[in-house]
Each structure stands twice: as C-alpha cells, then as structure tokens.
Amino acid sequence: MNIILMGPPGAGKGTQARHLVDTRGMVQLSTGDMLREAKDSGTEMGRVVADVMARGALVTDEIVIGLIREKLETVQGNGFIFDGFPRTLAQADALGDLLAATGQGLDAVIEMEVDDEALVSRITARSTCGNCGEVYNDITKPQPEDGKCSNCGASDFKRRADDNEDSLRTRLMEYYKKTSPLIGYYYAKGLLEKVDGLGEIAQVQAAISKVLDKSSI
Ligand code: AMP
C-alpha cells in the first residue's frame, strides 16, 4: 500500500511516518530528508538547494522528482509513505506516472489538519535526535536532562536551520499557494482522507491506522 502524508510544515508528517515505518514496515520517502542529506554531504545538488531551503522556498520540481524516481527504482519495502512529496501539481502528476510505470498506484492521501498558530509554536520549539529522528519540543517534550535521546541514547540533538519564524512564514505561503491545490486534486480522485493533526501523537496514530486499515480492505 502506498500513501501520501500531506499537511503544512509542523503538522507531524515525519513523526507519523516514522511510526508507520516501525509498526507496518513501510518505507518513508521524505524529500526534505533527502535534500538535507545532499546538503550535509556537500554534493553539487546540495549546494544548489541550500539557500532555497534556508529561505523556506520550494526546490525545483525537476530536482525532487529526480530524487523520488531514483528511490522508486532502487528501494523496496512494504509500501511507500510519501512525506513532503508531492508539493506541486507537476510533482503529483509525475508521481502518478512513476507509480503507474511499475504497475503501482496510490491507496490514500492523508491530509493532517492543524491551525497556523499551533504550527508556529511547534516549529520554533522543535529539535530532533540527529541519530534516530525522535522529535522533541522545548515545552511539551523537552530533551532529556541527561542529554541522551530517550529513544536511542545518542547525544546529537539538532535544530533545523529553517525552523525559524521568517522561513516558516515562507514555508506556509508556499504550502497554501502551491501544495494545498493538491487537496482538491486527490479529492477528485477519491483518495483524500482528513485526520485531525492537533490531537496527542497516539490519537493521530490511531486515526491514520483507521484510514490505512479501511484502504487496505
Ligand atoms: P521538509 O523537511 O519536508 O519540511 O522540507 C524542507 C525543505 O526542503 C522545504 O522547505 C523545501 O525547501 C524543500 N523540499 C522538500 N520537499 C520538497 C518538494 N517535494 N518540493 C520542493 N521542495 C521541497
């Protein structure tokens, strides 16, 4: 089963995707993670995208479609979770074509609904474990006092360069202008499912599980 997790920055897509990887053996394909990896390893493409990402703007369709194409050709697993992709109509069309070329399709597009105020406070307080990706929040889930990740024990906490109010404003505008039209696009295909992204992590997990169980029947 292949699904898309959609929602504005800070909606909790990454957290929910990791849970699906752990519990269902699905494969998370996050274009944001792929681009950050390219940036950190200093590749030519990483250099090209660094400034765009720091501003919170979207990287070109060509680059991200290329990254997804490569993964679909090389990675196998118990279904894909597209996290942060597609973000434009052109990317959505390309994804449909790439999946169709291997006889696959999409089973559900899950829109995680959250309000803007919650996003600002989630994002500006966010840090993650650089080793396992566990997400922390300065107010609701502070980093452990012993300085070790509660999930994997590593001591390598990171804050994203684009998790600041200026970049977040641009990221939100990009989402509303270029990505939110995909809600209608997938609704028209009968694939859209909405879940409330504001609840406790476990409640959101349960709501997503319900959608997946229904879609796999
Ligand atoms: P994310 O980790 O999904 O929040 O993505 C971080 C940043 O990477 C975004 O703000 C964009 O600059 C870039 N990015 C990630 N995925 C895409 C995409 N599908 N299309 C264009 N830019 C993307």
**What average pLDDT score do residues 143-152 get?**
96
From its phi and psi, is residue 153 left (phi > 0), alpha (psi between -120 and 50) or beta?
A: left
Q: Report whether residue 9 contacts ligand 1, using a CB cutoff of 6 Å.
A: yes
| pLDDT for residue 217 | 58
Whether the predicted pLDDT of 121 surpasses 90: no
Q: What is the three-class DSSP state of 8?
A: coil
Indicate whether residue 8 lines ligand 1 (CB < 6 A).
no
| Positions marked catalytic | 13, 87, 126, 160, 171
The rounded Å distance from CA 53 to ligand 1 centre is 7
Q: Indicate whether residue 58 lines ligand 1 (CB < 6 A).
A: yes
Q: Alpha-carbon distance 145 to 173, whole Å?
A: 36
Q: Taking residues 36-58, what's their average pLDDT?
A: 93
User: Each residue of 83-116: b (16+ CB within 10 Å) or e?
Assistant: bbbbbbeebbebbeebbeeeeeebbbbbbbebee
Per residue in 81-91, pLDDT (tens digit) is 999 999 999 99
Report whether pLDDT(120) > 90. no
Collapsing DSSP states into helix, strand and coil, what is residue 89?
helix
Average pLDDT, the chain: 93
Q: Averaged over 180-206, what is the pLDDT? A: 95
Over pLDDT 70: what percentage of the chain?
100
At residue 134, does pLDDT exceed 80? yes
Q: Which helix (H) or strand (E) holds 129?
A: strand 126-129
pLDDT per position as a tens digit, 4-45: 999 999 999 999 999 999 999 999 999 999 999 999 998 999
Residue 68 has a pLDDT of: 97
Q: Which of 167, 197, 181 is nearest to 58 (CA)?
A: 167
Question: To the nearest 10°, the Cα dihedral for 64, 69, 71, 74?
Answer: -160
Nearest 10 degrees: CA dihedral of 182, 184, 186, 192? 110
Nearest residue by C-alpha to atom 14 in ligand 1: 32
CA distance 121 to 10: 9
Residues 123 and 168: their CA atoms lie apart, in Å, by 8
What pLDDT, on the 0 to 100 scale, is given for residue 140? 86
Q: In angstroms, what is the span from residue 59 Cα to ligand 1's centroid?
A: 7
Using a 6 Å cutoff on CB, does residue 133 contact ligand 1? no
The alpha carbon dihedral of 197, 200, 205, 211 has a sign of negative
